[in-house]
């Protein structure tokens, strides 16, 4: 669990944030998705991955992300397109409190595999406490 601040580049024409796979992001990016148009009060995520690592960026608007390693929970506020949150494998994650205009970009270290997901919190706790 780490917050990373990326440099903002650009000039009078506008701003730019460059993020490179395996350079700025601590893994090779194999999947990209984004969450938007969320309903008020409805959280997203609420799962962990056995192997997949994620890098989360609120490219527009804001949201909170609560990460849980089985013994400690920490909530992060993402509200800038140059701030990223690294979520390692075997960390329970929940995204919540989305602003209406939030677009949450997620860079993932692996392709989608349902078998990589732990969707039940009790099962997650059993896995991390093995």
Residues with catalytic roles: 47
From the number of C-beta atoms within 10 Å of its C-beta (0-12, 13-18, 19+), residue 55 rates as buried
3-state secondary structure 28-46: CCCEEEEEECCCCCCCEEE
Phi/psi of residue 42, each to 5°? -105, 115
DSSP 21: B
Strand 44-49 versus strand 117-118 pairing type: antiparallel
């Amino acid at each position: 669990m780490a917050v990373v601040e990326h440099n903002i580049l650009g000039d009078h024409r506008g701003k730019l944030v460059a993020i490179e796979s395996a350079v700025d992001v601590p893994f090779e990016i194999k999947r990209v998705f984004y969450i938007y148009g969320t309903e008020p009060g409805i959280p997203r995520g609420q799962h962990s991955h056995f192997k997949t690592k994620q890098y989360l960026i609120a490219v527009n608007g804001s949201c909170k992300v609560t990460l849980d390693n089985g013994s400690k929970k920490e909530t992060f506020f993402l509200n800038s397109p140059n701030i990223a949150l690294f979520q390692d494998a075997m960390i329970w994650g929940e995204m919540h409190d989305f602003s209406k205009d939030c677009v949450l970009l997620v860079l993932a270290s692996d392709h989608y595999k349902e078998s990589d997901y732990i969707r039940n919190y009790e099962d997650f706790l059993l896995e991390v406490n093995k």
